[in-house]
Amino acid sequence: MDPTVSPFDHVRLFIPGPTEVAPEVRTALARPLIGHRGEDFKTLFGRLTPRLQAVFRTRSPVLTATASATAIMEAAVRNAVRKRCLCLVNGAFAERWYQICLANDIPADRLDWEWGQSVKPGPLEDRLKLGLYDAVTLVHNETSTGVASPLEEIAGVVACFPEILLLVDTVSSLGGARVEVDDWRIDVCLAGSQKALGLPPGLTFFSLSDRALERAKTCSRRGYAFDFVQYHDFWQRSLVPTTPAVSLLYATDLALDRILGEGLEARFARHREMAETCRRWAQDRFELFPETGYESDTLTAVRNRRGVDVVGLNRELKRRGAVISPGYGKIQSETFRIAHMGEIQPAELRQLLGWIDEILKLG
């Protein structure tokens, strides 16, 4: 990075994870450790719970796992599916859930939409009426395509089937876009630390409804390391079953203050503002990849119709102090992605877009 051209003190991450972490949150990682069975730990952990519940908008437990989000996607289906799972697939992360079911010998079907489309309630309702399923998986914000599916409407459909649990990956939306766990009746809602929550990678937070807990108690497949029943037992005593990443919990303590200090509504508005800025910029110069009306507020997936060399672009951006992301999975070369989530501020995004214009001689 060249300090003569950059207002930033390090290379800013406009990628969909890991994202920027505030200096004070990073500093917390260096604190001396404490044992995870003592009173100090319980005090720390107990302080996190009500604030995590506020972020998830739930009165149910919000548990913390030292693991990346994929591990808890796996745990969720192991703890929730007794009969058969329906996986709603409209991109790479949604498909991951189906692959996880197969890898765990969990009976599963997939209901597909083209990449770039959102999941739609209509076909879902038709499928659920068959009476085959006891769980549905959904990715709220599909990070591979930049599509946000209408979670509230989809949850409304699933709620009409009392036997069916709704498992939702909000990994790249929670903390940046509205997720109402209780009002929308989401049974398991999970989010990784390294996306819109603005924490380093390494933790996954997940809520557990009463129904999900009762179901888990009857699931023989729930495994050992991420047994939700055991997690819940420990959680009631402000503990976790196995050694947690204590340093990341210090960081979470501060990050939650930042999130709730800003206020969820203000945070959603900031993400919306950045998304609108980025979408306008992309529409003028490229094209948006997502179906109109379902664009994500936390990242923008751009159709690379100019054939821009994203590796070369990133080399130039890095000199100035920023980095963006290529496409993901089967649309890797057709698209690129600009994430604007967590700690990124509107002025920083405008700086980035200005640099891209300058490098590509656009605008």
Ligand X SMILES: *Cc1c(COP(=O)(O)O)cnc(C)c1O
The amino acid at 318: K
Residue 118 C-beta: closest distance to ligand X, Å: 14
| Contact of 189 with 207, CB cutoff 8 Å | yes
Subset of residues 70 to 89 that bind ligand X, contact rule: CB under 6 A? 70
Residue 186 phi, psi dihedral angles, 5° rounding: -95, 130
Instruction: With CA atoms as reference, report the closest residue to 213 among 200, 229, 226.
Output: 229
- 285 contact partners, CB below 8 Å, separation of at least 6: 306, 357, 362, 363
Q: Using CB under 6 A, which of the segments 167-175, 265-273, 282-290, 320-328 binds ligand X?
A: 167-175
Helix (H, G, I), strand (E, B) or coil at 33: coil
Where in 213-252 is the site for ligand X (CB under 6 A)? none
Lookup result for tokens 């992360």: 93
Residue 69 contacts ligand X per CB under 6 A? yes
User: Interacting stretch for ligand X, rule CB under 6 A, among 44-52, 56-64, 169-177, 338-346?
Assistant: 169-177
Q: Which C-beta is closer to ligand X: that of 68 or that of 345?
A: 68
Q: How far is the CB of 16 from ligand X (least distance, A)?
A: 6
97-156: contacts with ligand X (CB under 6 A): 139, 143
When the beta carbons of 68 and 117 are compared against ligand X, the nearer one is 68
192 belongs to the binding site for ligand X (CB under 6 A): yes
Three-state DSSP state, 279: helix
| Rounded-to-integer distance, Cα 291 and Cα 148, Å | 10
Q: Which range touches ligand X (CB under 6 A), out of 165-173, 237-245, 255-263, 339-347?
A: 165-173
What is the rounded CA–CA span in Å between residue 262 and residue 166? 29
For the CB of residue 284, give the shortest distance to ligand X in the complex, in Å. Answer: 27
With binding defined as CB under 6 A, does residue 172 bind ligand X? yes
Q: Give the C-alpha separation, 10 to 161, whole Å.
A: 50
Amino acid at 165: L
Please give the Cα distance from 54 to 260 (Å, whole number). Answer: 8
CB-nearer residue toward ligand X: 63 or 355: 63
Three-class SS state of 280: helix
Nearer to ligand X, 17 or 175 (CB): 17
Q: Out of 68, 230, 238, 345, which residue is the one contacting ligand X (CB under 6 A)?
A: 68
- Count of residues engaged in binding ligand X, rule: CB under 6 A: 13
CB of 202 to ligand X, least distance (A): 9
Residue 30 Cβ, how far from ligand X at the closest point, in Å? Answer: 23
Q: Which is nearer to ligand X, 16 or 321 (CB)?
A: 16
337 by Cβ neighbours in 10 Å (0-12 / 13-18 / 19+) ranks as buried
Footprint on this chain of ligand X (rule: CB under 6 A)? 16-17, 68-70, 93, 139, 143, 169, 171-172, 192, 195
